[in-house]
Structure 1
Amino acid sequence: MRRLIQTATAAAAAAGLALGPVTVANAAPVSPDQWWFGSWAIQKDVWPQTKGGGVTVAVVDTGVNASLPDMKPAVLPGVNLQDGSGDGRQDLDKNEGHGTAMASLIASRGTSSGFYGIAPEAKILPIYAPNVSPTTVSKAIRYGVDHGAKVINFSEGASGSGQYNCPDDVIQALKYADTKNVVVVASAGNEGDFANSPDYPGSCPGVLAVGALTRQGQPWEHTQRQDYVTVSAPGADVGGIGKSGHVYTTGAGTSQASALTSGAAALIRSKYPQMKARRVVQLLTNTAKDFGKPGKDDELGYGVISIPRALKNDVPQNAPNPVYARLDKAVVKGSTGGGGNQGAPATKNDSSDSGGSNGPLIIGGIVVVVVLVGAGLFIVMRRRKSSGAGGGPYASGPFPNGPQPMGQPGTPPSFGGHTGGQPLPPQGGGQQFQGPPQGQPNPNLAPPQSGPNMAPPAPQGPPNPNLAPPPE
């Protein structure tokens, strides 16, 4: 899920709308490379209602470069959970800056680069998390809750060995977030077409797990295929601002999908300040637009979130809310691990990226070494590497479920208009960001040069007449 970002070509529009660059007052125009703006009708339908003001989103990641002009007004002092030094306002990613990019998708002001977050008046609380051990994740959740966050985003995760693994202390932290009225969002995973193991913390009860969709309306080929995936959001051909200030305009991963969903939650919470976290998740889930095969599936969950539909707040109060139904059923079993009905016991290792519980257990004087299958939940801590565990965006793989047919080739899907809106049926029970090219960051969204961990530039084709800018 810490996957990112390079270059895509054409513009985006909601189905039936020709959409050119839209100018925001006192700012640069929104780039057409940000195709999800058109699909969600952000400028037309969303921003007139809400821009995220008054809401803080905690970004648990590599930190955020708060010195960038587009991010400086948004970023609050946060925390470094590794050693307590610093306040999260530096991006410590060894590459180009995963945390900065995720924060930019949520709340970039766009005034310098022209790259906007979907909630450009929200605040970002940066939480530097060096790993996803149970202690780190639970501390990150509690810190975000205790420091004013109304939404917490995890664009990272680790693979587990059994469905719905979740450590006890993380479940306790999620229950704490619930009592304090905080939404927790996480990426679903980037290895759906190979290992496809449950990815934690996305697989935990009480977490809104997000899969990734392409601009053609198809599930991204590497998005996780697991029953815990509840909704989806744009995750392919989705860019962001690197820690150097360079703007990337393509990339792929459930990291981006999670960040955009956290931004959507911020927009809802801004319009409805008194709304409970459970209601926010209920709205996003029950108003999702179904893509792929009909009904819930393991790639896109109940569908792609529709911000305009969710903002109507017209879902019945008794509509299903599977994320919190799972949390309500979760039972914490203390030091033995395990999350109630969450599957195989999770490990209790708090200290390292690789985790794994291999300790000796002395019973009647006999030492039995217990090794969880595949080294348990935390043998591989993933911050979304560019291949293998990270779900490299350039590998190919079979995709079992056909997408919803699109009206025009190359036309982005529309996630806006109200279609259906029936309540859901009851639900049964890594990082990589290539550095910018040499020289000054490009303020005009120019494509970066190719690099070893970057996708090749998208092929150029003839212009689509249905995407022409509107007349003056």
Structure 2
Amino acid sequence: MTRATARLRRTASALLAMTLAGASLVTGLAVAPAARADAERDKQYWLAESGITKAWEVSKGAGVKVAVIDSGVDGQHPDLKGAVTGGFDASGAGNPDGQKSIGGKPEHGTLVATMLAGRGHQPASSTASPSPAPSGAGPDGMVGVAPEAQILSVSTWLGSANPAGKSDQDQIPEAVRWAVDNGAKVINISLGSTTPQWPQSWDAAFLYAEQKDVVIVAAAGNRVGGNIQVGAPATIPGVLTVAGLDRKGVASVDSSSQGISIGVAAPAENLLGGLPGGGYAEWAGTSGATPIVAGVAALIRSKWPEMSAKQVINRIVTTAKDAGAKGKDPLYGFGVLNAEAALKDSVPETGSNPLGSISDWIRVHRRGNLSTPAPVPTTDIPSAVPTLPEATVPAAKAPSQRDTAFGAAVVIGFAVLFVVIIAAAVFQLRRAARNPRLAHEEPDTGVLDTVDSGGKT
């Protein structure tokens, strides 16, 4: 959704630098300064500010599978070793296990996954000072919001032409169905489009996830990428849509869009994520805010395994800190994420998903099989008919040849214009049929700022 830019620092590993250059991330090189072993951990301000470190006192996400539908997740990243327990390629162009980084922004899936379920790693030197981390997480590198959750990597090819020929109309529903069938209790979708509509081919897959009680969390999109309004799939009823905050905790001017479907807001600027092959990047966008919220959903589902998806979503939005206009608004949704409250507060149960239901939407908007209601009979009220004066009929006048020729020219002109319009419409429809991608359908990458080799083992 945004056009990513990057300024690379020269890494200690020539292999990493070549890999990133081959992935079209390099726009400039600089020498990386020496960094403390826990520098990456220090940059994860959202862990404390969003109440996540306090939420770890209750849950760390153990036993919950989270599907990351994205560009593929590098399960060999130092901070993800042991975290990626399964995967699938929905694009036809990746590896069967979904761990090959593909598409227009191949780094995107690993950035997302490290924020969601990174586990850190052991330092190369035993003299490094440890940083605060949940038990079981390594002291160096990134620790995700749900460090004990399991990642299912579902790779899709978005952001450029898929060499396998599969469109997003096929990839997205296939990815969602696979995730549901393979035990995902939470699905993270950090991608979107500039249109609120979605293909009808997606209906059944999102309905299937709803029926199987799966929480789907999606990115709202970024203004800097042209997404002023929230685009699909974040507009699908029942999906927990995440808006972005800047470093001051207010709605981000660049890294968030707005819309009535937004459920909650989370940090989206000055973020840090892991890169395929090792190393890290600072980035921005609701792509990064989404795994923060999806991670909290995993914490809740680990703490209360029997809690329904609608109750999980309700718990997250009900405990959010109100921001912006009082109550729900198009910038913050129900408010700013508060992970501690979501895990510790007493929240009344709800009878429905506060963000709607795809089942209800389909019943109303895809009504092909519904019977048309009979017209309501009306009772005519008689009224007096006024007496009208007798009309004077003017004598008819035969048209002149000039008038006839002019009228014929007008008729022919309108006919030609009508034919041209119809031909143009048919051309556009045929063109759309050959290339059925959604407008600007691609990962919601945000902006990559810096890359280094910290944490590579």
TM-score by length of 1: 0.66
Rounded to whole Å, the distance in 2 between the matches of 1:6 and 1:316 is 45
Aligned equivalent of 1:186 = 218
Aligned equivalent of 1:380 = 439
Q: 1:4, 1:252 within 8 Å by CA — same for their partners in 2?
A: no
Q: Does 1:221 align with 2:253?
A: yes
Q: 2:222, 2:286 within 8 Å by CA — same for their partners in 1?
A: yes
Distance 1:148 1:47, change over 3 A: same
Aligned equivalent of 1:53 = 62
> Shift in Å at residue 435 of structure 1?
7.9
> Quick check: which has more Rg, 1 or 2?
2
What amino acid maps onto 2:222 in structure 1?
Answer: N
Aligned equivalent of 2:451 = 436
Distance 1:278 1:3, change over 3 A: farther
Aligned equivalent of 2:396 = none
Q: Does 1:284 align with 2:293?
A: no
Aligned equivalent of 1:304 = 336
What amino acid maps onto 2:212 in structure 1?
Answer: K
Distance 1:325 1:81, change over 3 A: closer
Q: Does 1:173 align with 2:205?
A: yes
What amino acid maps onto 1:125 in structure 2?
Answer: L
> Shift in Å at residue 167 of structure 1?
2.6
> Shift in Å at residue 246 of structure 1?
0.8
Q: Does 1:120 align with 2:153?
A: no
Rounded to whole Å, the distance in 2 between the matches of 1:270 and 1:121 is 10
> Shift in Å at residue 312 of structure 1?
2.7
Rounded to whole Å, the distance in 2 between the matches of 1:42 and 1:30 is 17
> Shift in Å at residue 138 of structure 1?
0.9
Rounded to whole Å, the distance in 2 between the matches of 1:87 and 1:292 is 43
Q: 1:231, 1:302 within 8 Å by CA — same for their partners in 2?
A: yes
Aligned equivalent of 1:369 = 426
Aligned equivalent of 2:181 = 146
> Shift in Å at residue 68 of structure 1?
1.9
Rounded to whole Å, the distance in 1 between the matches of 2:248 and 2:319 is 20
What amino acid maps onto 2:97 in structure 1?
Answer: D
Q: 1:239, 1:247 within 8 Å by CA — same for their partners in 2?
A: yes
Distance 1:297 1:332, change over 3 A: closer
Q: Taking every aligned residue pair, what percent have the same amino acid on both sides? A: 35
Find the residue that maps to 1:240 and give its secondary structure: strand
Find the residue that maps to 2:141 and give its secondary structure: coil
Find the residue that maps to 2:100 and give its secondary structure: coil
Rounded to whole Å, the distance in 2 between the matches of 1:312 and 1:381 is 40
Rounded to whole Å, the distance in 1 between the matches of 2:343 and 2:157 is 35
Q: 1:28, 1:110 within 8 Å by CA — same for their partners in 2?
A: no
> Shift in Å at residue 6 of structure 1?
8.1
> Shift in Å at residue 204 of structure 1?
1.0
Find the residue that maps to 1:31 and give its secondary structure: helix
Q: Does 1:295 align with 2:327?
A: yes
Higher normalized helix content (fraction of residues)? 2
Distance 1:252 1:186, change over 3 A: same
Matched ranges for 1:203-282 at <5 A? 203-222=235-254, 223-248=256-281, 250-282=282-314
What amino acid maps onto 1:138 in structure 2?
Answer: P
Find the residue that maps to 2:80 and give its secondary structure: coil
Q: Can you list the C-alpha shifts for 1:121-148, whole angstroms capped at 9, x where unaligned? A: 0000000011372221111110100011
Distance 1:220 1:170, change over 3 A: same
> Shift in Å at residue 237 of structure 1?
1.0
Rounded to whole Å, the distance in 2 between the matches of 1:335 and 1:320 is 22
What amino acid maps onto 2:142 in structure 1?
Answer: F
Aligned equivalent of 2:75 = 66
Distance 1:138 1:431, change over 3 A: farther
Aligned equivalent of 1:100 = 110
What amino acid maps onto 1:238 in structure 2?
Answer: L
Distance 1:125 1:181, change over 3 A: same
Q: Can you list the C-alpha shifts for 1:352-389, whole angstroms capped at 9, x where unaligned? A: xxxxxxxxxxxxxx9762858x97994523325xxxxx
1:87 aligned to which of 91, 97, 100? 97
Aligned length: 344
Find the residue that maps to 2:262 and give its secondary structure: coil
Q: Does 1:158 align with 2:193?
A: yes
Distance 1:30 1:120, change over 3 A: farther
> Shift in Å at residue 32 of structure 1?
2.4
What amino acid maps onto 1:228 in structure 2?
Answer: S
Matched ranges for 1:16-35 at <5 A? 31-35=41-45
Q: 2:228, 2:257 within 8 Å by CA — same for their partners in 1?
A: yes
Q: 1:185, 1:258 within 8 Å by CA — same for their partners in 2?
A: yes
The CA RMSD measured in Å over matched residues stands at 3.3
What amino acid maps onto 1:382 in structure 2?
Answer: E
Structure 2 gaps of 5+ residues are 8-36, 123-139, 159-166, 369-421
